[in-house]
Structure formats: C-alpha cells, structure tokens
Structure 1
Amino acid sequence: MKLNTLFVAGAVSLALTLSAQAQTVITGADTDEILNAARGYGAANLTTQSNGDPQITGKIEGITYQIYFRNCTDGKDCEDLNFYLGFLDIKPTLEVINDWNFNKRFSRAYIDGDKDACVEMDLDLVKGVSAEYLDSQFGLWAMVVGQFAEHVGYK
C-alpha cells in the first residue's frame, strides 16, 4: 500500500513539474511574441527607439499608443515594458487627472510638459510571464485606453 501511495505521489509530482516546464515564459527578449499579443487588440508594428531599444506602436479602437521596451542590454533582453498613451491637445485640469489616479488602479495619469493628458502602465518581465498573463495585461491596457480616452474627453 505504501509503495502504491509513493508511486502515485511521485507520478503527480513529475506531472506537475513537466506541466510547469512546458509553459512558455515570455521575457523582454521575445519581441515577436509581445508584438503578436499587441496585435490581438488591434494593429501594431515593431520599430526601434532612438537609443536602439525596441518599441511597439499600436492602435486600440483607433487610438494610437506606444510600448517602450525599457532597461535593455544592447537593444535586446529588456527587463520591462512601459505602455504609454498621450493625447496631443487634450488638456485636462489637474482635478481630472487626480480623479483618475484616485479612482483607478494599475495605471498612472499625468499632465506632460505641454499640458497634454498622458497615461502609463508598466509590466515587469525580469523573471518572464506566461502568454496568458501577457494577454491579460494587454486586455487591461485596452481597458485603460478606452476608459482614459473617455475620462479626458477624447471620446
């Protein structure tokens, strides 16, 4: 009886280990996978920032946003993503921005140097994330884009 219990426990442990190993981990080096995740929410293209690091420019519901790959080594192996949306010529009051920051989670809004409305969200990729988690973060970003656009009067 003990041998059967030991065998079953070992088999379950091995199955869980193999399942965890089979899950693909996406890091900041996986630009194609990140681009494909972005394309699941609208048009998106991979370009390069002036410093050589990758950048994605995409559209969600017709609204253009950028994803900046940050803390990169030689233009690759980036540690995190910075989702960014800025509305040129939409100049909300500080009260409107403070209301967003007080009532919303997972993103931060601000007024830039030209007094335009901006919102950002970060994703840490140092240890990698699953494809499902990456997709959930893009879903969250899509929600932020739509709600922020409405909040500052773009829509």
Structure 2
Amino acid sequence: MKTTIKTSLLLAAAIGLTFATPLLAKDYNNGGVTGDEIANDLKSIGHKVSVGKDSTGDPKVMASFAVGDTDINYQVYFFGCKSDRCNAIQYHVAFDGDISKVDEWNKTRRFARAYASDATTIHLEYDVDVEKGANTVAIQNSAERFKAVVVQGVTFLGK
C-alpha cells in the first residue's frame, strides 16, 4: 500500500510539473529579445555565457556547453535590433571538418545550414525568428536543438 501511494504521489508530481512548465515560461515582449534575456535562458540550462557587442553595436553572446569532457564554444548573433530588442537570433559554431560533406549535410539536414570558409573550417548556423514573441521555454528549446545539431554536425562533418 505504501509503495502504491508513493508511486501515485511521484506520478502526480511529475504530471503536475509537466503541465506547469509552460505556465512558468516568461514571455518576452513582441519585437524580439535582448542579449541579457538570451544569456539568462542559456545559463538556466547549464551553458557558460558572456554578453558583449558585435562590430555594429548589436548584442553578441559567447557561450559554451559541455559534451562529455569537451566544451563546445559557440556564438549567438542578433539581427533586426531596435532599442536593445532584436527580432532574430542566429546560433553559430565553427569547427575543423571535411568540407566535401557540406553539400550532403545541407541536402539531408533540416535545422542548420553548413558552409565552409576555407579548406578545413565548417560553420553551422541555426536561425530563430523571435519578432512576434518568444518565451524562456522557446529559447531554451532552440538552444537544446542547436546543441543536438552541433553534435550531429561534428559527428557527420568533423574530421
């Protein structure tokens, strides 16, 4: 009987958290997101983050996440910025890889495009439109999707 009650309580708590999570999401204003908002969302899922500015004065987030014992460094660029709110973000990572596989990647993968900038450097980019609104959960999900894409990209395209 005790096991059944404990199991029922744990199940009820898990279901409650599942349905409550979207309710806990913080909505961002229409018109986009700020560098600090993105940085806070990335920190909340365990990424190391710092915020700066790009050459045009728009926000730029430098971040990393761990895959095993390896830290993967990446950047988040901001586009369409007005009064510190930007209507799109772009996750970006660069690594050494086999550039002969870039076309196949782009033909067979959905969430990130790849290109080569020289004989060995491959870039993966993933764009997210946030102009009509976003929230913490949506940004965190996009970061987790990017992380998965990077792991796939390094596995497929890496040397």
- Cα distance change on mapping 1:97 and 1:36 into 2, 3 Å: same
Equivalent residue, structure 2, for 1:34:
38
**Where does structure 1 lack aligned partners over 5 or more consecutive residues?**
1-19
Structure 1 Cα separation of the partners of residues 123 and 63 of structure 2: 16
Aligned 8 A contact 1:28 1:69 in 2: no
Aligned 8 A contact 2:32 2:132 in 1: no
TM-score (norm 1): 0.74
Structure 2 Cα separation of the partners of residues 91 and 146 of structure 1: 13
Given candidates 117, 125, 132, the residue that maps to 2:122 is 117
Question: Could you tell me how far 1:109 is from its partner in structure 2?
Answer: 0.6
Aligned 8 A contact 1:83 1:122 in 2: yes
Are 1:24 and 2:27 an aligned pair? yes
Equivalent residue, structure 2, for 1:54:
59
- Cα distance change on mapping 1:104 and 1:50 into 2, 3 Å: same
Aligned length: 130
Are 1:73 and 2:75 an aligned pair? no
Q: Which amino acid aligns with 1:36?
A: N
Cα deviation digits, residues 62-96 of structure 1 (max 9, x gap): 1111000112125x221100111112xx24233x1
Given candidates 112, 137, 145, the residue that maps to 1:140 is 145
Question: Could you tell me how far 1:152 is from its partner in structure 2?
Answer: 2.1
- Name which one, 1 or 2, has greater alpha-carbon Rg: 1
Structure 1 Cα separation of the partners of residues 72 and 93 of structure 2: 9
Question: Could you tell me how far 1:44 is from its partner in structure 2?
Answer: 1.0
Equivalent residue, structure 2, for 1:93:
99
Alpha-carbon RMSD = 2.2
Structure 2 Cα separation of the partners of residues 23 and 48 of structure 1: 24
TM-score (norm 2): 0.72
Matched position secondary structure for 1:63: strand
Matched position secondary structure for 2:85: coil
Identity of aligned residues (%): 26
**Where does structure 2 lack aligned partners over 5 or more consecutive residues?**
1-22
Matched position secondary structure for 1:47: strand
Q: Which amino acid aligns with 1:34?
A: I
Q: Which amino acid aligns with 1:85?
A: V
